[in-house]
Amino acid sequence: MENILRQKAKELLSSGEVKVVIGYGWNRAKTRTTPVFITDAADTDQLVWNPLCVNNLSVYLTRKFKDIQALGKPAIVAKGCDIRNIAVLISEAQIKREDVYIIGMACQGVVYKQELWQGELKPNIMPTKCHNCDVRDPHLSDFVAGEKADFTPPEEPVGMVFDKIRDLDSKSPSERWAFWVKEFSRCIKCYACRQVCSLCYCERCITEKNMPQWIETSAHPRGNLSWNLIRAMHLTGRCTFCGECERACPVNIPLNLVNQKMIMVVKDAFDFKSGYDEKAHPPMIVFSPDDKENFIK
Amino acid sequence: MNPARLSGRMKTVSMADRTLKKEDLGKLIDSVRAKGGRFVAPALLARQVVFRSVKSAEEVATGYILARNSFKEFLFPQTEVIAEFSMNKDSVGLKGVEVDAPETVVFGARPCEAASLKGLRTLFTWDFVDEFYTKREDKTVVITVGCTSGDEACFCTTVDLSPESTEGADVYLRETEDNGYTVKGLTEKGKKFLDTHDAVFTSGAAKERPLFKPETVPAVDLKRVSERLKDRAHYDDPVWAKLTMKCIGCGACTFVCPTCRCFDITDEGTAFEGERRKNWDSCQYDAFTLHASGHNPREHQPQRWRNRFMCKFNFYPEKFSSKGCVGCGRCIRVCPVRLDITEVMQEFSK
Ligand code: SF4
Ligand code: SF4
Ligand code: SF4
Ligand code: SF4
Ligand code: SF4
């Protein structure tokens, strides 16, 4: 598959159809993958594909990466779950479908965090998204590398995201509140969760609006709570559960619990799941005159 | 993990003047806390080892390489009140705030991170003495433990430090084969600390575990790095974009870094009453250099990365004659896109 990927990248760059291929390469010690931006057809052998390819590279399609945009039309190496974010970006008019070439990867799953890798992809080191994956055959792609993945997702080990959500749901509101206040108390307001998320693309985040200061920037319990609630609300109905925010959080706040819970709420209320159809708009950002709710009229 | 880089073992020299038995660590914690001090040590929190204030020896982690965060947050907290204000029809009230500086023991720091204190001190006393920092540091005893394990991100030896270095530490410990420590007082503060808690320590010989010494990163020449950074020509070098384009500007690297110390001043409260806070900030954020006019001298992420690198390998050594990077590798471990500062060091050694 790696060879098919490299071959395709080479073709795209040599023909000039794209100017840069955004993909995965090795770090110096070849122990971790890291994003690479290949602009020369001679360098396509740097591209790799393996279960350590965890990053959702779609973040590099957003406006803040000016140096990448300056390179010209990109091709992006994307797993089905990453493509869901690209679909949201298209539906929210952040990119045009024709402005990106999507190399979809038929996928067998990835590790939750690269540090966990010991040479074998076992269910207990995979993220919940992989246990429940329905996009291993990547959608919306211009080209798919690899055979259609006929792989069945492994049984979800106990104690993963859905179990935890069930457990939290069974608690009283005050217990749930206490749980989240405690988890958020560790937040250091680094905003890694925001920066790594391709759907947090606002050029000026509400946390940076300081006249007046809408969200307190201090990492005290009040400020942490307001930030984490805002993040949850701004992603509701849009978040694809790609898990990048939780992976990037340096203090291990279980952001995936928030993300998945909001996904479940939106599914119940609007029968909507983001990232499958690039023409469908997430429910929280559309206004429809024949909405059955009338509070806004 | 690359064992090849970690295999260099160091000689076991004993220079200890006391020993601390494994079972007596609890007594030391009790002894410090009985005098009203706080005992900060690496402990497990949310599935990772971090520095936190502990109450008992059971909480103290063992077998860790180094804590995820640096202990700087106990000297320079993420957020703290530095003044209070109030305003009404006839008057404006401004009130200073007493520095909250409890007697603190930082136990189990690594030799690399302790070396960051010199730079922090110089910065916080540069043209103004920031008592919020100095008063806390004055009351803190830093106890380092020589490393017996490391990982591929460790690179202290590349920046002229090692698991044996004692810069910044008040007391230096070495693990012994029976899970205790040999103890060496280094500074006046450290020696005084040992005397104060003398009853907890024992004497006698103990066999020290060998230290792990990371191999130096190949093809790095710090002199050359600093020379190249001094030359303005590198400023618009396309190599910055090439190496750091993948940076997403999350700032996590600067928050876990023991030497990073940028902060922002912000007012919170209402227009009539509130507090002024000093909060951690990061040069990796786009708003860090955003001017009120809307102009931003560092508009692109690679420019912000250039600043981080310059700060560590040019500004700190040049201006403060101190280390801007101590090679702890935290920034490498925490980076969600695995941007490795040593790869940039290699590039600028050319
Ligand atoms: S969620 Fe699916 S497409 Fe994404 S990494 Fe897991 S198996 Fe692959
Ligand atoms: S899981 Fe996190 S990073 Fe991924 S889309 Fe949702 S909020 Fe963004
Ligand atoms: S990544 Fe984690 S610590 Fe950083 S702002 Fe987000 S929730 Fe807070
Ligand atoms: S720059 Fe990185 S390796 Fe150097 S001191 Fe900071 S966190 Fe440690
Ligand atoms: S942790 Fe990595 S991605 Fe985040 S600001 Fe630092 S170098 Fe950039």
Exposure class string for B260-297: b at 16+ Cβ within 10 A, else e: bbbbbebebeeeeebbbbbbbbbbbbbebebeeeeeee
Cis before A250? omega within 30: no
> Above 60 in pLDDT, residue A78?
yes
Test mutation, A77, A115, A188, chain B, max B CBs within 10 A:
A188
Task: Give tens-digit pLDDT for A60-69.
Answer: 999 989 999 9
Most confident of A48-57, B87-96, B298-307: A48-57
Task: Give tens-digit pLDDT for B36-58.
Answer: 999 999 999 999 999 999 999 99
Ligand 1 mutation target, pool A105, A107, A113, most atoms within 8 A of CB:
A107
The C-alpha atoms of residue A143 and residue B82 are separated, in whole angstroms, by 57
Whether residue A250 and residue B46 make contact (CB cut-off 8 A), yes or no, is no
Query: What confidence score (pLDDT) does residue A262 get?
Result: 96
> CB distance from A180 to chain B under 8 Å?
no
Query: What confidence score (pLDDT) does residue A296 get?
Result: 56
Is residue A295 very low, low, confident or very high in pLDDT (cuts 50, 70, 90)? Answer: low
> CB distance from A189 to chain B under 8 Å?
yes
Whether the CB-CB separation of A284 and A238 falls below 8 Å is answered with: yes
The C-alpha atoms of residue A260 and residue A279 are separated, in whole angstroms, by 22
Ligand 3 nearest atom to the CA of residue B252, by list position: 4
The C-alpha atoms of residue A287 and residue A295 are separated, in whole angstroms, by 12
Is residue B17 very low, low, confident or very high in pLDDT (cuts 50, 70, 90)? Answer: confident
Task: Give the Å distance between the CA of A114 and the centre of ligand 1.
Answer: 15
Strands A101-105 and A74-79: parallel
CA dist A212 → A200, B189, B214, B278 (Å): 21, 46, 49, 18
β-sheet bridge partners, residue B42: B51
Q: Which residues contact A171 (CB under 8 A, 6 or more apart)?
A: A179
ipTM: 0.92
DSSP-derived secondary structure letter, B17: S
> Above 70 in pLDDT, residue A56?
yes
Task: Give tens-digit pLDDT for B200-254.
Answer: 999 988 899 999 989 999 999 999 999 999 998 888 899 999 999 999 999 999 9
Tokens of B193: 């600390």
Is residue B4 very low, low, confident or very high in pLDDT (cuts 50, 70, 90)? Answer: very low
Mean pLDDT, rounded, of chain B = 92
Query: What confidence score (pLDDT) does residue A42 get?
Result: 98
Nearest CA to ligand 1 atom 5: A109
Q: A251: which chain B residues are within 8 Å (Cβ-Cβ)?
A: 46, 50, 68
Strands in A33-38's sheet, in edge-to-edge order, are A33-38, A20-26, A74-79, A101-105, A143-145
Our answer on whether the CB atom of B260 is closer than 6 Å to any ligand 5 atom is no
Least confident of A158-162, A218-222, B156-160: A218-222
Helix (H, G, I), strand (E, B) or coil at B146: coil
> CB distance from A141 to chain B under 8 Å?
no
The ranges assigned to domains in chain A are 2-145, 160-285
Query: What confidence score (pLDDT) does residue B14 get?
Result: 47
Q: A35: which chain B residues are within 8 Å (Cβ-Cβ)?
A: 246, 337
| Exposed / middle / buried, residue A61 (Cβ in 10 Å: 0-12, 13-18, 19+) | buried
Whether the CB-CB separation of B328 and B258 falls below 8 Å is answered with: yes
Task: Give tens-digit pLDDT for B195-207.
Answer: 999 999 999 888 9
Mean pLDDT, rounded, of chain A = 93
CA dist A109 → A65, A275, B79, B184, B330 (Å): 27, 18, 40, 50, 28
Query: What confidence score (pLDDT) does residue A139 get?
Result: 95
Please tell me the pTM assigned to this model.
Answer: 0.93
Region B58-65: mean pLDDT is 95
Query: What confidence score (pLDDT) does residue B16 get?
Result: 66
> CB distance from A206 to chain B under 8 Å?
no
Whether residue B255 and residue A219 make contact (CB cut-off 8 A), yes or no, is no
Query: What confidence score (pLDDT) does residue B11 get?
Result: 38
- pLDDT above 90 covers what percent of chain B? 82
Q: B301: which chain A residues are within 8 Å (Cβ-Cβ)?
A: 64-65, 67
Nearest CA to ligand 4 atom 6: B257
- Mapped to the 3 state alphabet, what secondary structure does chain A carry? CHHHHHHHHHHHHHHCCCCEEEEEEECCCCCCEEEEEECCHHHHHHCCCCCCCCCCHHHHHCCCCHHHHCCCCEEEEEEHHHHHHHHHHHHCCCCCHHHCEEEEECCCCCCCCHHHCCCCCCHHHCCHHHHCCCCCCCCCCCEEECCCCCCCCCCCCCCCHHHHHHHHHCCCHHHHHHHHHHHHHCCCCCCHHHHCCCCCCCCCCHHHCECCECCCCCCCHHHHHHHHHHHHHHHCCCCCCCCHHHHHCCCCCCHHHHHHHHHHHHHHHHCCCCCCCCCCCCHHHCCCCCCCCCCCC
B145 Cα distance to chain centroid: 14
Nearest CA to ligand 5 atom 3: B247
Q: In Å, how far is A217's CA from the nearest CA of chain B?
A: 8
> CB distance from B329 to chain A under 8 Å?
no
In this complex, the residue of A32, A67, A219 whose CB is nearest that of residue B78 is: A219
CA dist A170 → A36, A180, B160, B328, B350 (Å): 44, 15, 55, 43, 60
Whether the CB-CB separation of A156 and A130 falls below 8 Å is answered with: no
Task: Give tens-digit pLDDT for B75-103.
Answer: 999 999 999 999 988 999 999 999 999 99
Which of B129, B76, B104, B124 lies closest to B255, judged by CA?
A: B76
Is residue B153 very low, low, confident or very high in pLDDT (cuts 50, 70, 90)? Answer: very high
> CB distance from B87 to chain A under 8 Å?
no
The C-alpha atoms of residue A199 and residue A284 are separated, in whole angstroms, by 14
